[in-house]
Amino acid sequence: MRHPSPQTIPLLLAAGLGLLANPAGAQDPWTEADKAIRRLAPVSFSKAPPAVVEALEHRRCLIPQSAGDTLPHNVIKGSFSRPGQTDWAALCSRAHASAVVIIWGAPSSCPDEMEIREDRTFLVKGTDGKIRFERTIEAITAKRIKALYDRYGGDAPPPLSHDGISDVFGREGVVRYCYEGKWQELTGEQGT
């Protein structure tokens, strides 16, 4: 029988203690909450045209849902490139990380995907101790974008002529606005 060397005994003890502190299969509550995020298949969004559903399926998107909102959300319609053009955007989760993806109604100079971030960065612990996903996107009009700037300040928006995308985590938000081939980040909702 082979005995451990004196150098490996502390490592073996530490490993054993680690197993006692974290039983096999147990994970931290944040990882469990990330796994528990309700993510819907694109076909769950009956108001989206078949071509949009197909495009989201092709990208292997699942749509994460904020806790407490029972109706499917995070697939939106707006004019995100120019007035009168109908575009769609979705919060697209793949491998527990999400990006805002755009399905353009006509060619646009702005990218069709932006900011991939782990879904767990949008988890929040409530006063009841439960950990929940709290990220939503919504179409926001040029008039509302201007009102947010007037109320909260920040960088002056470019000339506003079409919709933007409000990306909100909890009570804080940012507005993404397609301008001159780039997504500009503008002042969004601010918690009180």
When divided into structural domains, the chain yields a total of 1
Residue 118, strand partner residues: 97
Q: Give pLDDT, residue 26.
A: 58
Is 103 part of a structural domain of the chain? yes
Share above pLDDT 90 across residues of the chain, in percent, rounded to a whole number: 76
Distances in whole angstroms, Cα of residue 182 to Cα of each of 56, 90, 106, 115, 162 = 22, 18, 16, 13, 14
The Cα–Cα gap between 44 and 93 comes to 15
Q: Give pLDDT, residue 30.
A: 94
Is 155 part of a structural domain of the chain? yes
Q: Give pLDDT, residue 5.
A: 47
Is 13 part of a structural domain of the chain? no
pLDDT tens-digit profile of 79-89? 999 999 999 99
Is 9 part of a structural domain of the chain? no
In which domain, by residue range, is 179 found?
27-187
pTM score, whole prediction: 0.83
pLDDT tens-digit profile of 102-152? 999 999 999 999 989 999 999 999 999 999 999 999 999 999 999 999 999
Mean pLDDT, rounded, for 35-53: 97
Is 152 part of a structural domain of the chain? yes
Is 47 part of a structural domain of the chain? yes
The Cα–Cα gap between 165 and 79 comes to 10
